[in-house]
Chains A and B, each alone.
Chain A
Amino acid sequence: MSDLGFPPTAETLDGVSTVEVRTSASAALIPTIRAVASDLAARADFDLDAISDLRMAVDEACATLVDVAAPKSMLRCTFLVQAEHIEVQAEVLAGQADAAVSTDTFGWRVLQTLADDVQALRAPGTAEIGPTVGIRLHKHAGEPSR
């Protein structure tokens, strides 16, 4: 499940801490993923508002993807933790060939507000694997004094 070309290969990561969480694509497991997001941001010295924003952004991204995921499929969420900055990519196998992340929803607008940058991703299926949809987002650490 790496159709969307993420994470980069080990050679290009250059010491960036990478954490990958894979769960059943079920809304009931999203609390676990957002807890990981919150923990990583806290350890990376994000300010309290930025921790809250990342936790909510990751929740939103995962909830959006679980909605379009194929039955019995997995949700993969990868965190690249850098100084002052965390990049997250979440992806699922799509349930429908034409599935895409809806970007005209209240949830997507909230996601755009919470993250410093957010993109919807999709990759067409191949003979071996179905179509993949994903969301990539960036969040900066914010003001350390806050």
Chain B
Amino acid sequence: MVEPPAIRSLRTGDLAAPAGPSLGKKPEALVLDSHPPLQTSIARLTGGAAVLAVVGEIDTLTAPPLEQALRELLDDTGADVLVIDLTGVTFLASSGLAALIQGAHRAADRNVTLRLVPGSRAVRRPLEVTGSDQLFDMYEDVHSAVG
């Protein structure tokens, strides 16, 4: 029998978070995390374009890092054109859509052209079914988006 761990001022927010400091206090507990991490990488191209490549699943846990990556990129880069390459994304939740929409508004405020490469149905369908595709210039592949 495993002793149930003591509950001490745990908030709902703590449970929603991935294994963090609050869970680190009980190393004997196995925290099953079926959540693959989201990977982002940035390439700056000559000619004022930058490409943000995203790989993984964008949901309630991984949307905040994406939002942050987009914000930093739009704030600090001198790029006129930002391409978001989503061909490696296998799931897009409403929280991910919200991050992309917020990115579109930020880009518009900064006169940056935002281009989206949705790739698979997993990204294309959520954009289309919610009408969010109207906010973006969509491209078939990164090559044509940059060109």
- A59 lies within 8 A of chain B by Cβ: yes
Chain B residues with Cβ below 8 Å from A110 are 94, 97, 126, 130
With a cutoff of 8 Å between Cβ atoms, the chain B residues found around residue A55 in the complex are 91
Task: Indicate if B16 sits at the interface (CB-CB under 8 A).
Answer: yes
Cβ-defined contact, B94 with A107, below 8 A: yes
Query: Does A116 lie at the interface of the complex (its beta carbon under 8 Å from any beta carbon of B)?
Result: no
A28 near B35 with CB under 8 A, answer: yes
A71/B11 contact (C-beta < 8 A), A63-B59, A107-B95 known: yes
A55-73 interface bits toward B, Cβ cutoff 8 Å, 1 = contact, 0 = none: 1100110010011111110
Q: How far is the CA of A25 from the CA of B125 in the complex (A)?
A: 27
Chain B contact-residue range equals: 20 to 34
Q: A29-B33, A66-B60 are in contact. List 20 more A-B contacts (CB 8 A).
A: A24-B15, A25-B15, A27-B15, A28-B18, A28-B19, A28-B34, A28-B61, A31-B35, A52-B122, A52-B126, A53-B129, A55-B91, A56-B92, A59-B60, A59-B91, A60-B94, A63-B60, A69-B12, A72-B15, A107-B98
**Chain B interfacial positions (CB closer than 8 Å to A):** 7, 10-12, 14-19, 31-36, 57, 59-61, 91-95, 97-98, 121-122, 125-126, 129-130
Q: List A residues at the B interface (Cβ < 8 Å).
A: 24-32, 34, 48-49, 52-53, 55-56, 59-60, 63, 66-72, 95, 106-107, 110-111, 113-114
Of the A-B pairs whose beta carbons lie under 8 Å apart in the complex, a sample of 11, sorted by A's number, is: A27-B17, A29-B33, A34-B91, A52-B121, A52-B122, A56-B92, A56-B126, A59-B60, A63-B95, A71-B7, A71-B14
